[in-house]
Amino acid sequence: MEKNGNKRGRQDVDPGVAIKCVVEDKGACENEQSPAIVAVCERGQSPLSVADEIEDPSAKRSSSNGDREPKRYKKRKIALMIAYCGAGFQGMQRNPGATTIEGELEKALFQAGAIQDSNVGQPKKVGWMRAARTDKGVSALGQVVSGNFFIDPPGLVERVNSHLPAPIRVLGYKRVTPSFDAKQNCVRRRYEYVLPVYVFDPDLVTACLAEQEANNPGASELDDGAIAALTSSDGAVQSDSTTVDTTAVDVSDTASEQQTRSVSAIALSDVETAPAPRIQNPEEDGNQRATRAAAKEAEKDMEMAEIRKYLMEKSGAKNAFQFGEDCINRLNRVLGRFVGSHSYHNFTPRTKATDPSSLRYIISFEAESKFVVDGVEFVRCSVVGQSFMLHQIRRMVGLAVAVVRGCAPESILETALRRQAPPSLESTDSEVKVPMAPELGLFLEECYYSSYNSKFGKLHEEVSLVDYTTDVRKFKHEVIYPHIASTEARDLVFASWVQRINDEHFPHFALAREKENLAKAAPK
Query: Tell me, what's the pLDDT at 15?
Result: 42
pLDDT digits (tens, 9 = 90+) for 454-499: 999 888 999 999 999 999 999 999 999 999 999 999 999 999 999 9
Top-confidence range, 21-35, 200-214, 225-239, 251-265: 200-214
pLDDT at residue 49 is higher than 50:
no
Q: Give yes or no for a contact between 201 and 320, defined as CB atoms under 8 angstroms apart.
A: no
Rounded Cα distance, 428 and 211, in Å = 38
Query: Tell me, what's the pLDDT at 428?
Result: 55
CA atoms within 13 A on the CB side of 167: 20
Nearest to 384 by CA among 176, 106, 132: 132
Q: Going by C-beta distance under 8 Å and a sequence separation of 6 or more, which residues neighbour residue 287?
A: none
Question: What confidence category does residue 281 fall into, taking pLDDT thresholds of 50, 70 and 90?
Answer: low
Instruction: Please state the three-class secondary structure of 443-485 as a single string.
Output: EEEEEECHHHHHHHCCCCCCCCCHHHHHHHHHHHHHHHHHHHH
In degrees rounded to 5, what are phi and psi of residue 415?
-70, -45
- With pLDDT > 70 as the criterion, what percentage of the chain qualifies? 69
Query: Tell me, what's the pLDDT at 345?
Result: 96
pLDDT digits (tens, 9 = 90+) for 366-389: 999 899 999 999 999 999 999 999
> Where in the sequence of the chain do the CATH 3.30.70.580 domains occur?
75-185
- Predicted structure pTM score: 0.74
Rounded Cα distance, 476 and 485, in Å = 12
Is 84 a known ligand-binding residue? no
Radius of gyration of the chain (CA): 30
pLDDT at residue 268 is higher than 90:
no
Mean pLDDT throughout 182-196?
97
DSSP designation for 231: B
Nearest to 511 by CA among 231, 245, 248, 234: 248
pLDDT digits (tens, 9 = 90+) for 500-515: 999 999 999 999 998 8
pLDDT at residue 413 is higher than 60:
yes
Q: Does domain 193-201+318-455+492-521 have CATH number 2.60.40.420?
A: no
> Where in the sequence of the chain do the CATH 3.30.70.660 domains occur?
193-201+318-455+492-521
**Range in 26-30, 138-142, 200-204 with the lowest mean pLDDT:** 26-30
418 or 234: which carries more pLDDT confidence? 418
Question: What confidence category does residue 53 fall into, taking pLDDT thresholds of 50, 70 and 90?
Answer: low
Rounded Cα distance, 422 and 433, in Å = 19
**Residue 14's CB: how many other CB atoms inside 10 A?**
11
Query: Tell me, what's the pLDDT at 494?
Result: 97
Mean pLDDT throughout 300-304?
84
Q: Going by C-beta distance under 8 Å and a sequence separation of 6 or more, which residues neighbour residue 83?
A: 140, 141, 142, 143, 168, 169, 171, 471, 472, 475, 479
Q: Does domain 75-185 have CATH number 3.40.630.30?
A: no
Q: Point out the catalytic residue in the list 25, 56, 135, 181.
A: 135
Query: Tell me, what's the pLDDT at 99?
Result: 96
135 is a catalytic site residue: yes
Rounded Cα distance, 483 and 179, in Å = 37
Residue 437, phi-psi category: left (phi > 0), alpha (psi -120 to 50), beta (remainder)? beta
Top-confidence range, 35-44, 53-62, 474-483, 513-522: 474-483
Length of the chain: 524
Mean pLDDT throughout 352-364?
93
Q: In whole numbers, what is the pLDDT of the chain averaged over residues? A: 78
Mean pLDDT throughout 387-396?
97
* Secondary structure (DSSP) of 289-335: HHHHHHHHHHHHHHHHHHHHHHHHHHTT-TT-----HHHHHHHHHHH
